[in-house]
Amino acid sequence: MENVRRIELVDVRQAASLGAREKQVKLKWIAAVLTVVMAGVAGAQNINAAGATFPYPIYNRWFTEYAQAHPNVHINYQSIGSGGGVQQTSEGTVDFGASDMPVADEKIAAAKVKFWNLPTVLGAVVPVYNIPGVSQTLNFSGDVLADIYLGKIKMWNDPRIAKDNPGVNLPAKGILPVYRSDGSGTTFIYTDYLSKVSPEWASKVGKNTSVQWPAGIGQKGNEGVAGMVRQTPGAIGYVELIYALQNKIDYGAVKSKDGKFLKGTPEGATAAAASAAKAMTTDFRVSITNAPGADAYPISSFTYMLIPVRFADPAKGKAMKDFLGWMLAHGESEASGMGYAALPKPVADKVALAINKIQ
Amino acid sequence: MSLDEQPNPSPQPTAPALTSFVAEAAPAGPEGEPSVIRRYLQTRGSGGLADRVFAGLMLLCGLSIFAIVLFILWILIDRSKLSLAQFGFHFFLRSAWDPVSGDFGALPFIFGTLATSLLALAMAVPLAIGVAVFLSELCPAKLRAPISFLTELLAAIPSVVYGLWAVFVLVPIMRDQLGPVLYQYLGWTGFFEGYNFGEGLLTASIILAIMILPIISSITRDIMLAVPISQREAVLALGATRWEMIRTGVLRNARIGIVGAVILGLGRALGETMAVTMVIGNHPVISKSLFAPGYTLASVIANEFTEATGDMYLSALIEIGLALFLVTIVVNAIARALVWAVTRGTPARVH
């Protein structure tokens, strides 16, 4: 018994020392890699950012491309959501943030770090639906969409839907409104639009990243909404334009402020921004939903970077200014290829002016 | 010894001192020699200090559970101060959830959590006990290993996979096959009314039942296997049928353990987030119909926390976490009280 135990002990000891040796080797490796990395980074500018998930794909591409062209600047972006982006920017735990909706006055006033809302690209939201036997693209007026989501229009063959869609054989089928259950900028844009076109929506529900939906069911993410609509006859939902384009989902047209039925496109969103730009001051926190203009798609919105007015580290501020300049000059041209809408010229010019003021 | 000698170098001979030392060390030994065991123990030191240190360490480990629970509770209360101050304890009884106007209440979420969990238990417990009885008492040896393996495999599947399966398989079945049948035959009860879109409380309960089934059944099986064979043989020897033997000899002896397994399953059902979110409909209403959508405490936190704007909104979401914490404690306490009330002073009986 004693002998056996001793042998076991010896084995264990050997194993332990082997493990320790392996650990030492590993540690040496890590140390070596770290020193190499540190040497490479020495003198480099690390910028940390966090915020909205919607623009993450294009931001990520910009930051990667910019780091390739400027090896001494590294921008680390974490897509933690707009709410977290606003909070971390105002507390100064990140160098800059990003948000899908403009930050409210009282939040800016309460922030430890003062920051600007600079628009970067635009997104649009489109209605998707599944009606058995209907293959045509449907037209929706804003007030009809609002009343569907208010639960007042309950059937697809409702005369108000039929009025916008002459010649379409709409079935007597119940409507199931599907909304985003997770808080999202998409919901903010959509409810912002509904609030503008329906006074009842504005007073009963309002606009936010999540609202108290009067009817329907909630699904997580664009994929959840699109999936539910696809497999439920009679369902209607709303998704980001990007998501619909990438997944080749057909979507409906929405009546613009000028009375035309428009299908959502990146160009339509840019046109909406251009028409709103006329009334824009240096404060970019404007809603461009239901904007006037022949081609202005009504459910469009800016997404913002939250840039501190003054950087504590002047080198960092300089690096940030350089990046934003690069973004306007080169980055914007990549937007429409990825399904985002680029800023229209007048807005981009105003953003360039604001960038110059960063300290 | 040598210390004694130094200040007082008495002419005492060394030999008697030695004998007295031996006599002191083994005072009670009639043979004069300490036993082998005692000698061994003496080489291991007195043990007093080691024992106390060990006991102290273990006490610390035990108390860490209290510390963790209290810490969580403190953080939850501290972070939800704003909402606690605004709504007080009425928060748990209000049914508004309006992020726009900042009006919050937890009642629909508490309802959804309890309704889905209890329904899931009602479906899973009989099935799980059936599986366990079959595996431990009736199963041919050839089948036992594959069924046991599959049960444990079910327990290891991540909940998002259950959710996906539910979205693509269970929801259409509920909408097109099972739902209409339930409406036709049980519609009069009022539990299966309204438009059935395939998602809702019932679908969420079914997926929860499938998820907690393997936990309850595998623990129940282990407990039933732990009942001594002599119990079974004794009951059989008295002329009982197989069913009587299982009922009186096995289930009765294992019942406290089975309740423990059920409580574990309930714990998982209460806190399950992902799979439920994907099929419950995420609409905070309280409805009698099981076809209606609902919302659970865990789901609303997962859904809305990242994009929550405004301090009151965040605070209300953290208070939802507090509500989940309290619901879990209360439900567990009730379950334990029930067990205590039922099993108090009743030994295993055969009748």
**Residue-wise pLDDT tens digits, A282-307:** 788 888 899 898 899 999 999 999 99
Kindly state the helix (H) or strand (E) to which residue B38 belongs, with its residue range: helix B36-43
pLDDT per residue over A143-160, tens digit each?
999 999 999 999 999 999
Distance from CA of A139 to the nearest CA of B (A): 24
The number of residues in chain A equals: 359
The pTM of this model reads: 0.79
Are A220 and B98 in contact (CB < 8 Å)?
no
Residues 6+ apart with CB under 8 A from B315: B79, B80, B81, B82, B83, B84
- Contact of A219 with chain B, judged by CB distance below 8 Å, is answered with yes
- The amino acid occupying position A307 is I
CA B99/CA A147 separation, integer angstroms: 20
Residue B164 C-alpha from the chain's centroid? 25
pLDDT at A28: 60
| Structure token pair of residue A264 | 């959502």
Residue of B nearest to A215 (CA): B283
Residue B5: per-residue pLDDT: 43
Neighbours of A331 (CB within 10 A): 22
Q: By percentage, how much of chain A surpasses pLDDT 90?
A: 47
Residue A195: strand, helix, or coil: helix
The answer to whether residue A206 neighbours chain B at the CB level (below 8 Å) is: yes
Binned average pLDDT, 10 residues per bin, chain B of 351 residues: 44 45 48 78 73 92 95 93 89 89 92 95 95 90 89 89 92 89 84 84 94 93 91 91 90 87 91 91 90 92 84 91 93 84 60 42
Say if the Cβ atoms of B308 and A83 lie within 8 Å.
yes
**If you count them, how many residues does chain B have?**
351
pLDDT of residue B276: 93
Which one of B101, B309, B318 makes the best mutation probe of the A interface by having the most chain A beta carbons within 10 Å? B309
pLDDT computed for residue B38 by the predictor: 81
Mutate to test the interface with A, among B170, B276, B307, B318 (most CBs of A within 10 A): B307
Rounded Cα distance between A280 and A349, Å, is 12
CB contact under 8 A, B283 and A216: yes
Binary contact (A218, B283; C-beta < 8 A) = yes
The pair phi, psi for residue A236, each rounded to 5°, is -130, 140
Q: What is the pLDDT of residue B21?
A: 45
Residue in B closest to A102 by C-alpha: B309
Beta carbons of B293 and A217 less than 8 Å apart: yes
Residues of B with Cβ-Cβ distance to A185 under 8 angstroms: 307
Q: What is the mean pLDDT of each run of 10 residues along chain A (359 residues)?
A: 44 48 58 51 78 89 92 90 86 91 84 90 93 90 95 93 92 93 90 95 91 92 90 92 87 93 92 85 85 91 91 88 92 87 90 87
Residue of B nearest to A182 (CA): B303
**In B, which residues are within 8 Å of A216 by CB distance?**
283
Alpha-carbon distance B86 to B104, whole Å? 10
Please report the ipTM that was assigned to this predicted complex.
Answer: 0.75
Distance separating the N- and C-terminal Cα atoms of chain B: 73
Nearest to B197 among A81, A176, A227 (CB): A176
Q: Does A186 touch chain B (CB under 8 A)?
A: no
Alpha carbon distance A55, A60 (integer Å): 8
Give the closest of A81, A227, A232 to B198, CB-based. Answer: A232
Which chain A residues are closer than 8 Å to B283 by Cβ? 213, 216-218
Q: Which residues in chain A have their CB less than 8 angstroms from residue B304's CB?
A: 182-183, 209-210
A82–B99 C-beta distance less than 8 A: no
CB contact under 8 A, A176 and B303: no
With CB atoms and an 8 Å threshold, state whether B307 touches A183.
Answer: yes
Give the pLDDT score at A247.
85
In which region does residue A138 sit, left (phi positive, over 0), alpha (psi from -120 to 50) or beta (all else)? beta
